[in-house]
A and B are shown apart, each in its own frame.
Chain A
Amino acid sequence: MNWRKWSLLLTIVFAMSMFLAACGGGDDADTDTDGEANDTEEASGDEELADEQELSVNIKTEPPSLHPGTSTDTTSSAVLDQVFEGLTRVNQDNEVEEGMAESWDISDDELTYTFHLREDATWSNGDPVTASDFEYAWKWVLDPENADTDYAYQLYPIKGAEDAKEDDGSLDDVGITAEDDHTLVVELEQPTEYFLELTAFYTYYPLNEDVVSENKDWATDAGDDYVTNGPFQLVSWDHKDNIVIEKNEDYWDADTVKLETITMHMIDDENTALQMYENDDIDWIGDPTDSVPLAAIPTMKDADELEISDRAGVYYYSFNTEEEPFDNENIRKAFAYSLDRTSIVENITQGEQKPATALVPPSIFEENEEGYFEDNDVDTAKEYLEKGLDELGIDELPTIKLSYNTDEGHAAIAQAAQDIWKKELEVEVELNNEEWNVFLDSLGEGDYQVGRMGWIADFNDAINFLEIFETVGGNNYTNWEDEEFQKLIKESRSELDTDKRREILRDAEEIFMDHMPIAPVYFYTNLYAFKDNVKNITVSPIGNIQYKWGYITEE
């Protein structure tokens, strides 16, 4: 081989590429300065709609599934909520409003819901949306033949649903009947106060039976078979790269929808996303699909750029009530009372989270802003410790193991807990971090003493938090259960009166807090920032984002 020629060629090509880079760079710099020029031409701030109704957001990762029946996560829901619509839709004020259903009747025993569907609702391929599309979609999820339907249990309030999915019950016995094209009758297992909220949830979205039954891979790519009925429709889906959705002109409420195009980028790295946001490449960062980098929070807060809203979720330390010394209630209380939540929230998480001394977040039970006990109540904690040690018949606590899944944030919080427990309770705390799957495995097997956990509600109701601890197993890693607590949860399910039901659930929470199988740490918040010209888009307490009502103003 002739190396002389080779190296000459390499040098030239390399020099060429540098040259090209320099040229291209010039163009880019130009467009950038243009953008800034536009920014400076600020209008007086009146709400004039911009000509270009284009929004660019970050959904962080590839949505695991854009099939409403098989998806289970916020990223997928951030797309699905725009392109599909259920019987109802939860609006910007977190109230249920009409979606595909124009109206509904509820029987006196609250067991039968009759939905009247809009006559003018159509699918994106022109077919009318009928009651049987709903019946088909829901029964598809409940069909044991269809795996990947992890969220089938969201449909379990419907009569016979659990039976059909898990115990060989017949799908024909499930309480879903399409009486005619526009009437859907749903019978419930028991009164469910939040059922209308559930019908806005993606597992309850309809599917176009004709298209879906023909092509089982209809939801893996954008295209003719991805038929939807929401305010937007899917235009393109470049896997792991971006998703583009466009306004659906045939949507029944198309007049309300202002945004024409929404590009959803998948940028995994928070810092990259932040730089793109500051560079005006994207209009929104942070919750619900992404997060603001921890290091940027203080500066953004100072610049008044950051929006903070309540999120229905709680971060807590779960005690393994079968392991010494946490089989003792007073010891558990000592640990829970002594935590300094205010300092954790102010110095570590920094996202205006609320110190939690209760289980149910204040977006559901307002009283829980105060909670059941005082934060960092060291004196009471010491009393409990004393009592607990007496009951156990020991002089001092053995070394405690605090487990969490590997993550900077969890580690920092665990260190703060370690510090305060060591100082106030004079106990050695060993920190133990494990990879996520390994961690879940250890917790599930009860191979832990204190473990980090979190819970974010699927719908804004207290039962979502309380029923986790109804029985041992599932998401209840504490090995704690209590008959009285179970009785109250059961009672709440048949109580029709809203206020009384709330009372019952409050009582249940009180029992729970009295046994303290977990030490709540803080209630989550949504943290996000968006460009000044983006209007009327909010993040709901359960982490839903809706672009239906959003618009862009002239700057």
Chain B
Amino acid sequence: MFKYILKRVGFIFISLFFIVTITFFLMQAAPGGPFTSERKVPPKIEEQLNEAYGLDEPLIIQYKDYLVNIVKWDFGPSFKQKGQSVNDIINRSFKYSLILGFEAIFLALSVGVFLGVLAALYHNKFGDYAAMIFAVLGISVPSFILAAVLQYTFAFKLGLFPIAKFDSFMHSILPAVALATTPLAFIARLMRASMLEVLNSDYIKTAKAKGLSSRVTIYRHGIRNAILPVVSYLGPLVTAILTGSFIIEKIFAIPGLGNEFVESITNRDYTVIMGTTVFFSILLLFSILIVDIIYGLIDPRIKITGSKGDQ
């Protein structure tokens, strides 16, 4: 087990190195720079700017300096938000994304699994159709439309929630719902399909034949096996929710990290681009690792140590 994790962490660092390298050169290849603006800065002043931020050095030196700084976990100063370091920016905005993301994942998981199981149990009955109509709607309506609709009806018309900002738990509900709906619907469909398969399998029949109550059959034998695809979907989901919240953050005026991630690219704010990319990559790689470990814990058939089962 320990050896396996060590090996995986090693791979994470290799992937990170490639991500950093590719992002760095792609970013430099994009036209325009951080100091391009509608109002041209006098050339001399631009030179001084480039010098101050080390952009006058040859690319390879910049690249080397950058790698060294990443190892030290120092992403340098932001080019656009003067006086603020990228570490500051990540530290202050990640907590918003984290809270919002956590709520959304919680919602998506609990409701999604519930709907999926419900649909499977009432296969081809009203419950199934209702849950699946909901799921299809959830997948097809883009989150920004849903966000606007939720905001308009529940906050503006009914006045049940604040319209925007992120000051209290109440503020977080609408954005979390908007963010959760697509993955929720996806989880529901995933859960339904795998639950149906599980319910038709031999061991469920055996369990029923043994005279186990239907509740025990469903919970202990059914869901536990059917949840596996959902767990493997969790890894990418965590990162997708944390990074993909840009639109939701914009609509609900939340100062989160998704916003910084997208805006830094428009601004060619090199250090912020690199900082957020590295940060998100680490998040993605580690959440995949954690999912793999959980996977092994749930399903004894998966042997993550390669030698013997771990339970």
Q: Which residues of A does B touch, CB under 8 Å?
A: 1, 3-4, 7, 10-11, 13-14, 20-21, 24-25, 28-29, 32-33, 62, 64-65, 67, 70-72, 144, 147-150, 152-153, 165-167, 217, 219-220, 238-242, 265-269, 271-272, 275-276, 278-279, 281, 435-438, 440-442, 453-454, 473-475
Do B84 and A220 touch across chains, with their CB atoms under 8 A apart?
yes
Q: B residues within 8 A CB of A3?
A: 219-220, 223-224, 227
A–B pairs, 7, beta carbons within 8 Å: A10-B110, A13-B106, A267-B165, A268-B250, A437-B32, A438-B30, A475-B40
Do A219 and B83 touch across chains, with their CB atoms under 8 A apart?
yes
CA distance A7 to B33 in the complex (A): 51
Do A152 and B31 touch across chains, with their CB atoms under 8 A apart?
no
Do B44 and A7 touch across chains, with their CB atoms under 8 A apart?
no
CA distance A92 to B217 in the complex (A): 77
Do A266 and B250 touch across chains, with their CB atoms under 8 A apart?
no
For the complex with contacts A3-B227, A10-B110, A150-B39, 5 further pairs of A-B residues with Cβ separation under 8 Å are: A1-B224, A11-B110, A72-B39, A240-B255, A275-B163
In-complex Cβ contact of A279 among B36, B52, B156 (8 A): B156
A28-B159, A148-B52, A240-B259 known; A271 vs B148 contact (CB < 8 Å): yes
Do A268 and B110 touch across chains, with their CB atoms under 8 A apart?
no
Please, which residue of chain A has its CB at the minimum distance from the CB of B35? A150
B17 proximal to A (CB < 8 A):
no
In-complex Cβ contact of B252 among A272, A278, A435 (8 A): A272
CB distance from B244 to the nearest CB of A (A): 17
Q: B residues within 8 A CB of A438?
A: 30-32
Please, which residue of chain B has its CB at the minimum distance from the CB of A4? B219
CB distance from B131 to the nearest CB of A (A): 15
CB distance from A72 to the nearest CB of B (A): 7
9 A-B pairs with the lowest CB-CB distances in the bound complex, closest first: A437-B32, A147-B52, A240-B255, A25-B160, A166-B44, A220-B83, A441-B31, A65-B82, A267-B253
Q: Which residues of B does A touch, CB under 8 Å?
A: 30-33, 35-42, 44-45, 48-49, 51-53, 80-84, 89, 92-93, 106-107, 109-111, 113-114, 148, 151-152, 155-156, 158-166, 169-170, 173, 215, 219-220, 223-224, 227, 250-253, 255, 259, 266, 268, 297-298
CA distance A41 to B40 in the complex (A): 53
In-complex Cβ contact of A147 among B48, B162, B250 (8 A): B48
Do B49 and A147 touch across chains, with their CB atoms under 8 A apart?
yes
Q: B residues within 8 A CB of A266?
A: 253, 255
Please, which residue of chain A has its CB at the minimum distance from the CB of B168? A24
CA distance A64 to B81 in the complex (A): 5
CA distance A62 to B151 in the complex (A): 23
Please, which residue of chain A has its CB at the minimum distance from the CB of B253? A267
CA distance A67 to B84 in the complex (A): 12
CA distance A64 to B82 in the complex (A): 6
CB distance from B45 to the nearest CB of A (A): 6
